[in-house]
């Protein structure tokens, strides 16, 4: 890879010298952007952000690299390899985690000026969309024992435009947690729909419950779905049993954390994930700072609120939480 030496800035130089220096710096900047995009893509492709201590690429980019959301989406657009840096700058102006793939695909088959026009119209809330489109929901984090499951939604242009408009508005209102993907958005929307029905609310408990079956001999666990049983990874199982109701044959159900204590912890943490940069308000779980197997108690001072993604990641990395996360308000 070529090495560039930047000209040292000096005021008062002749116009030709200033122009040449500026052009040299701009070329170096573009090469640096391309190089940075390649390294960023490597972090994303290999999931290295998890080794670096973050549950998602977005959290790594914003917390470690200091990226704004706009810069994050710019790098994500280049990462696909389908568009260059110039088009990625346009995509970053309108893309969100949920609409990133749609805009990258559009940019790959659209000229630069036409793309600029479409971006401008989208920012004016008048998006132009194809007659039909397919939105693929593929969640790849956190990893589980089985391969990730893909859910496909098909809709005409009107429904796609409605989807994009609602997602855009949700982002503008700050309702979308950092790093949330399209699967997260659909789950959050369904959760809000269920919570809107008073008869369905469960006091201090989760909006929906899932059933995990664990073999008492081999301790392997699986969750039952309409697509059959899906195995649960050990770290994910540890996170789930951290805040659950346990049922054993012939014995009454037992909550791992008393409902009143759970409610107090959620209230103390303002019903938000305490992971810096995440702040999700959906799918909240209570985590033990010191695991019960190591003598940790169920007292509020040993508990912290995490979203399901961050909770699973903490258990995957050994069950520890950075002190800065404790009691974040």
The whole-model pTM stands at: 0.59
By the 8 A CB rule, do 237 and 214 touch?
A: yes
Beta pairing class for 132-138 and 150-156: antiparallel
pLDDT value, residue 133: 46
Q: How do the domains of the chain map onto residue ranges?
A: 15-192, 207-325
pLDDT value, residue 201: 47
Q: What is the pLDDT of residues 255-313, one digit of tens each?
A: 888 889 999 999 999 998 998 888 788 788 899 988 888 888 889 999 999 988 888 88
Beta pairing class for 221-225 and 254-255: unpaired
By the 8 A CB rule, do 182 and 280 touch?
A: no
pLDDT of residue 103 exceeding 90, the answer is: no
Round to whole Å and give the CA distance between 9 and 236: 54
Terminal Cα distance for the chain, rounded: 46
pLDDT of residue 144 exceeding 90, the answer is: no
If we measure between CA atoms, which residue out of 205, 63, 225 comes closest to residue 144?
225
Radius of gyration of the chain (CA): 24
**Mean pLDDT across the chain:** 77
Lowest mean pLDDT among 49-63, 126-140, 149-163, 208-222: 126-140
Q: How confident is the model at residue 147 (pLDDT cuts 50, 70, 90)?
A: low
Of residues 99 and 199, the one with the higher pLDDT is 99
Round to whole Å and give the CA distance between 187 and 180: 10
């Amino acid at each position: 890879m070529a090495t560039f030496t930047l000209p040292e800035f000096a005021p008062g130089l002749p116009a030709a010298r200033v122009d040449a220096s500026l052009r040299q710096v701009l070329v170096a900047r573009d090469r640096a952007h391309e190089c940075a995009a390649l390294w960023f893509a490597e972090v994303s492709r290999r999931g290295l952000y998890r080794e670096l201590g973050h549950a998602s690429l977005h959290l790594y980019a914003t917390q470690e690299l200091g990226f704004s959301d706009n810069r994050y989406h710019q790098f994500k657009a280049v990462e696909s390899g389908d568009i260059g840096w110039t088009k990625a700058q346009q995509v970053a102006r309108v893309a969100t985690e949920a609409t990133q793939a749609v805009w990258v695909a559009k940019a790959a088959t659209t000229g630069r000026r036409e793309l600029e026009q479409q971006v401008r119209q989208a920012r004016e809330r008048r998006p132009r969309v194809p007659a039909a489109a397919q939105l693929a929901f593929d969640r790849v984090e956190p990893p589980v024992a089985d391969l990730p499951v893909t859910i496909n939604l098909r809709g005409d242009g009107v429904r796609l435009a409605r989807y994009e408009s609602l997602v855009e508005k949700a982002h503008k209102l700050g309702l979308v947690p950092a790093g949330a993907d399209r699967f997260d958005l659909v789950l959050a929307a369904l959760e809000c729909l269920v919570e809107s029905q008073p008869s369905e609310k469960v006091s201090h408990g989760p909006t929906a419950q899932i059933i995990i079956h664990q073999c008492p001999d081999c301790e392997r666990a699986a969750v039952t779905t309409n697509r059959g049983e899906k195995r649960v990874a050990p770290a994910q199982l540890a996170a789930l049993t951290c805040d659950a109701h346990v049922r054993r044959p012939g014995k009454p159900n037992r909550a791992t954390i008393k409902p009143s204590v759970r409610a107090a912890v959620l209230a103390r943490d303002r019903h938000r994930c305490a992971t810096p940069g995440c702040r999700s308000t959906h799918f909240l779980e209570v985590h033990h700072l010191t695991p019960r197997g190591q003598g940790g108690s169920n007292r509020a001072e040993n508990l912290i609120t995490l979203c399901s993604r961050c909770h699973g990641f903490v258990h995957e990395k050994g069950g520890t939480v950075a002190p800065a996360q404790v009691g974040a308000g």
